[in-house]
Structure 1
């Protein structure tokens, strides 16, 4: 699949363009003034084979990775071979992504859109929403847990890898730690779902095997992140924030290793369960 580039007058990617600093004044007696670089946010319109599908608010970095990951984690494609091309263009403050996908994937997408239209006004839209919130997912082949030493100092290491967050202090991150314990990929976004989608897309586009390492998210570990990880065949998900009970139940059900990395204690493995029937 050709690597797309953002369409800008200078030919720079969104990652490379200079960021404006915004003036502020501190609300105290001194009233000191300063400037800060803030996180960028823009609207991204995604179309598949010419048909508009979604508009998302994203950080304008690694956009092609996001589009690829969003397509896979949303069940729109089965893999990278279904994505023929991604063309990203800029129009003022907005971005648009035109995605060319296989005939099989496009037919499935049109069927899904037709089903949505057919349920409109008939009282079944709530059922459709529940199916999206609690989808049927394939069960993963169980993966071994990562060595404990690969989790040591991970909070500090991911902090060092978050280049954009160091500038703005307002971005989530998702990273891939490879089989040797090194952070191989790191993607950042204003949205925690978007950050994981970008990482999934990067894994796809670089043809890295997700089960030969683990994914790390800096955000709250909610059920939607479990859905994305399972669809991307990620064997182990590590979160800096504690998971919800439903997240643990789904991780165990689908053989996804789920590990919480607390601030001041040892890593906690919630999935697989520590013993048969454990709660």
Structure 2
């Protein structure tokens, strides 16, 4: 075995948040050769509302303003974006802070919920203290037509243009929005699947993009917290590239949400609205 360690360029230091991806050295098991690969970065983002710490989330350091808006709505902390008065970011490197000023009514509701989250990139309900908080009462959607079948043709290939980070280094999820004419408008990426959806919802709200007739698309598995986020946002159709969980399906049907799974090698599966079996 060659005892000489391979040499690689060190990643550039960051004075604020790191870039979405950076290059890191790796070698083979015999340490005979080395190269560099781009890896997705993540940071710990501590979120405080009106000076009270609420959550620490591991996120990709991109589109953080979108994330704050989407997280606040998707978590039920605020009812609409106009309840956020100001957002200030601070910190550097892998430790960032977001101080969010929200309306008094929203802050009062938040304090009564007594939710103190320690978030991770994989779980959207960490720290919820009661079953009632995990399964909240949410409004039933008015219902919307299913999308045209041709809108979903070749979708897996088309979304690549909206996944620059994923194409570059992998290890991230994506959430995208398709408008009422079947056009992909924008996408957001993150190491956390629910974070990516939060960023998408925040971007839609901040850019004032109409949601009527539109579709949210997620590249990750579709579990309950993703259903809750699109319900709170008022998006009426959700397409998932991975299968939904049974509970996610039940909630979609109960709340009149169109839920479609797009398998890799077969036709789209409409799980909600439910249809009677002809077998």
Alignment match, 1:24: 26
Deviation at 1:31, TM superposition (A): 5.2
Give the stretch that moved more between structures: 210-219 or 252-261.
210-219
Alignment of 1:224-239 (within 5 A): 224-239=225-240
Give the stretch that moved more between structures: 29-38 or 217-226.
29-38
Does the 8 Å contact 2:45/2:96 carry over to 1? yes
Q: Look up the SS of the partner of 1:224 in the other structure.
A: helix
Number of aligned residue pairs: give it: 256
Q: Look up the SS of the partner of 1:136 in the other structure.
A: coil
Deviation at 1:200, TM superposition (A): 0.9
Q: Look up the SS of the partner of 2:130 in the other structure.
A: helix
* CA distance 1:18–1:184, change in 2 (3 Å): closer
Q: Does 1:268 align with 2:269?
A: yes
Alignment match, 1:149: 150
TM-score, normalised relative to structure 2: 0.85
* CA distance 1:127–1:207, change in 2 (3 Å): closer
TM-score, normalised relative to structure 1: 0.85
CA RMSD of aligned residues (A): 2.5
Q: After superposition, what is the alpha-carbon deviation per residue over 1:45-69, rounded to whole angstroms, capped at 9, x for unaligned?
A: 1111111111111100000111101
Q: Which runs of 5+ in 2 are unaligned?
A: 1-13, 117-126
Q: After superposition, what is the alpha-carbon deviation per residue over 1:207-258, rounded to whole angstroms, capped at 9, x for unaligned?
A: 2222331000000001111111111111000000011122111100000000
Structure 1: distance between partners of 2:199 and 2:268: 25
Q: Look up the SS of the partner of 1:166 in the other structure.
A: helix
Q: Which runs of 5+ in 1 are unaligned?
A: 1-7, 117-125
Does the 8 Å contact 1:73/1:197 carry over to 2? yes
Does the 8 Å contact 1:24/1:35 carry over to 2? yes
Q: Does 1:65 align with 2:66?
A: yes
Does the 8 Å contact 1:222/1:244 carry over to 2? yes
Q: After superposition, what is the alpha-carbon deviation per residue over 1:135-179, rounded to whole angstroms, capped at 9, x for unaligned?
A: 211111101111111111110111221001111111000000112
Larger proportion of helix = 1
Alignment match, 2:7: none
Alignment match, 1:110: 111
Q: Which runs of 4+ in 1 moved over 4 A?
A: 29-32
Structure 1: distance between partners of 2:164 and 2:149: 26
Q: After superposition, what is the alpha-carbon deviation per residue over 1:167-214, rounded to whole angstroms, capped at 9, x for unaligned?
A: 111100000011221211100000001011111111111122223310
Q: Does 1:218 align with 2:184?
A: no
Structure 1: distance between partners of 2:194 and 2:128: 23
Alignment match, 2:56: 55
Does the 8 Å contact 1:211/1:236 carry over to 2? no
